[in-house]
Amino acid sequence: MNIHTVARPYAQARDGRAWIELGLTMALYSGGLALALSTIGTWWLMLPGMVIAAAMGLRAYMILHDCMHRSFFTSRRLNDVVGTLLSVVAMTPYQATRYIHNQHHTHVSDLDHRDSFEIYTMTLKEWEAASPGERLRYRLYRSPVTLILIGPFLLYTVLRRVPSYGLKTGIGDLVLHNAMVAGFFGAVWWLAGWPGIAVLLGAVYIACVFGAIIPYVVHNFENIHCGVKPELDFRTAALEGSAVLDWGGAFDLLTMNIGYHDLHHLIAKIPGYRLKAAYLELERQGLIESEKIGFIDGIKCLRWKLYDEDRGRMVPFPPARAGVAVPAE
């Protein structure tokens, strides 16, 4: 028995389960947003509503993610239609995002294709050869303020309106997506005015901040394996270039089990609602052994900044030489 043999039965969508997951997610998203918009100024009701909308907006993104792999429903067309509709909540054009995400899967942990990494990583040797200006720019980029608190929100509210790679997947997808987003925001403005827009953007911000931590940790942990092809084979890149987020059952439920990320990278056709079950069966049979990262250790992963090719691990920034000022991380 091997991983693919055992996992094969799980790599099949179940439409009934998919509709339940989608229906509950969108009902809770709509309810949370409605609560927040109808109680503007009443903070003890508005804030929980925003958090619910943010959590379900993030979950909607996970469903869109499965649609991009065409694993959520059995029908290829239905995956694409639902994914396109969910792009309004997820704040990212469907076809363009599908293209760049497939590039990420193809080149995960490949140092020759770091443009497809969700978060760019410089090697230690590159850092040592870099100019002071290049080091400063990379420090600013790798700051948690940039990668968690500011960057993701700007990415989804501004940069994803017209991503450069979107031209490869068709301008029609971008036009349709942005028209739907404009219609959604226009409806919120009509219902609740500019305070309503602020509430909606607040929910988007919460989802962006929490959602940004996930790809950071699963691909930026200390013992990650990176390399170049042909030495870097697909199995190694998937299973050793990704980690498992051991953040509890509630997290798994909220995020459609995206934390079982190494198995997802190995077999992307397993829908999220079956991913945990597949992983647990593989683990029970001793066929998969993952790097598991708890929540506190996940936050600590923010200290890893550079990939040391000689040691095969992520490392912090080297200490500054005497007399050389170092910008804050």
Report yes or no on 285 lying in a domain: yes
Burial class (CB in 10 A: 0-12, 13-18, 19+), 50: buried
Strand pairing category for 292-293 and 313-315: unpaired
Residue 328 has phi, psi (to 5 degrees) of: -65, 145
pLDDT band at 117 (very low <50, low <70, confident <90, very high): confident
Domain membership flag for residue 293: yes
Calculate the CA 305 to chain-centre distance: 19
Tokens of 163: 């991503």
Range of the domain at 212: 3-219+234-315
Measuring CA to CA, which residue among 318, 327, 292 is closest to residue 146? 327
Q: Tell me if 76 is assigned to some domain.
A: yes
Query: Over the chain, what is the mean pLDDT?
Result: 95
In a domain, residue 320? The reply is no
Question: Is there a domain that residue 164 lies in?
Answer: yes
Asked if residue 131 is part of any domain, the answer here is yes
pLDDT at 55 over 70: yes
What's the pLDDT at 321? Answer: 55
Distances from the Cα of 74 to the Cαs of 11, 12, 234, in angstroms?
A: 11, 7, 25
In a domain, 176, yes or no: yes
User: Residue range 81-90: average pLDDT?
Assistant: 98
According to the model, what pLDDT value does residue 328 have?
Answer: 44
pLDDT at 1: 78
What does the pLDDT average to over 125-134?
96
Asked whether residue 81 carries a pLDDT value surpassing 70, the answer given is yes
Domain count, the chain: 1
What confidence tier does 320 reach under pLDDT thresholds 50, 70, 90? low
Domain presence at residue 52: yes
Distance CA 51, CA 57 (A): 10
Helix or strand holding residue 85 (H, E): helix 76-90
Nearest CA-CA partner of 35 in 53, 22, 56, 23: 53
